């Protein structure tokens, strides 16, 4: 004896409404995907320095990120991929701190103190990144050149100079070149940070070349 066909029950109105709402929410979620990320992923790779700078400005300028690591006193990593790298490495514009990680030199005087100072101010903190629109956005190592604003609205670049943890970098012109020279001069005159006891021989080679008058031998 043949079996009767299975009974098909009509979908209740409530169930239809639930499914409809779920579909609407799913569609809304897809529509709210990070459009900036999609645009960066789908657009052709930049080929000229101007195109690279334009992409960097769109991706980083005046945007907030979390610092995942303080690499050195003047170098930090933020939580956004950069090409094949999981994080973006930032080299602070206009300042240079004593080296601790450069394999070509020994750990420099006051380097550990400057590195610890930056780590304390930045790691796991949310910062705002500003680029210099009139200058290159990258250095020769492809690190992003930036001014980094801390949660208290002060700029890390300036705080390092104020506290005597950094030298004003005279090798490259930038928008705050003269201001940073003045900040360093003030810290030096008040013997703050490294300027309390540093000797000329403990300064980086580039600074000794740029400033032959600085901390002359007695």
DSSP letter at 196 equals G
Q: Which domains does the chain have, with CATH numbers?
A: 50-210 (2.40.50.90)
91, 158, 184, 188: the active-site residue? 91
pLDDT tens per residue across span 20-69? 666 555 555 444 444 544 454 555 666 687 888 999 999 999 999 999 99
User: What's the token pair of residue 67?
Assistant: 């610092």
From the candidates 13, 16, 89, 99, which is the catalytic residue?
99
For 82, the token pair is 């950069």
What is the torsion angle, in degrees rounded to the nearest 10, for the CA atoms of residue 138, residue 129, residue 147 and residue 195?
-120
Q: Which of 8, 14, 35, 143 is catalytic?
A: 143
Phi, psi (deg, nearest 5) at residue 167: -100, 150
- Dihedral angle sign, alpha carbons of residues 165, 171, 175, 179: positive
65-112, pLDDT tens digit by residue? 999 999 999 999 999 999 999 999 999 999 999 999 887 878 999 999
Cα(206)–Cα(98) distance, integer angstroms? 12
138 is an active site residue: no
- Average pLDDT across the chain, whole number: 86
């Amino acid at each position: 004896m043949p079996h009767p066909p299975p009974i098909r029950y009509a979908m209740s109105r409530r169930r239809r409404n639930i499914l409809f709402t779920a579909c609407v929410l799913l569609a809304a979620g897809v529509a709210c995907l990070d459009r900036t990320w999609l645009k960066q992923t789908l657009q052709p790779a930049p080929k000229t320095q101007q195109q690279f700078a334009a992409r960097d400005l769109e991706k980083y300028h005046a945007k907030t990120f979390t610092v995942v690591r303080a690499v050195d006193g003047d170098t930090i990593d933020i939580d956004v991929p950069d090409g094949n790298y999981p994080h973006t490495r930032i080299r602070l514009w206009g300042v240079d701190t004593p080296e601790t990680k450069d394999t070509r030199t020994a750990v420099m005087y006051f380097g550990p103190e400057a590195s610890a100072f930056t780590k304390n101010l930045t790691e796991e903190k949310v910062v705002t990144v500003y680029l210099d629109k009139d200058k290159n956005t990258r250095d020769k190592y492809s690190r992003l050149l930036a001014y980094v604003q801390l949660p208290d609205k002060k700029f890390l670049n300036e705080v390092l100079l104020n506290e005597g943890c950094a030298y004003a970098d005279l090798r490259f012109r930038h928008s705050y070149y003269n201001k940073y020279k003045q900040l360093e001069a003030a810290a030096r005159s008040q013997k703050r940070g490294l300027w309390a006891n540093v000797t000329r021989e403990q300064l980086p080679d580039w600074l000794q070349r740029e400033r032959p008058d600085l901390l002359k031998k007695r």
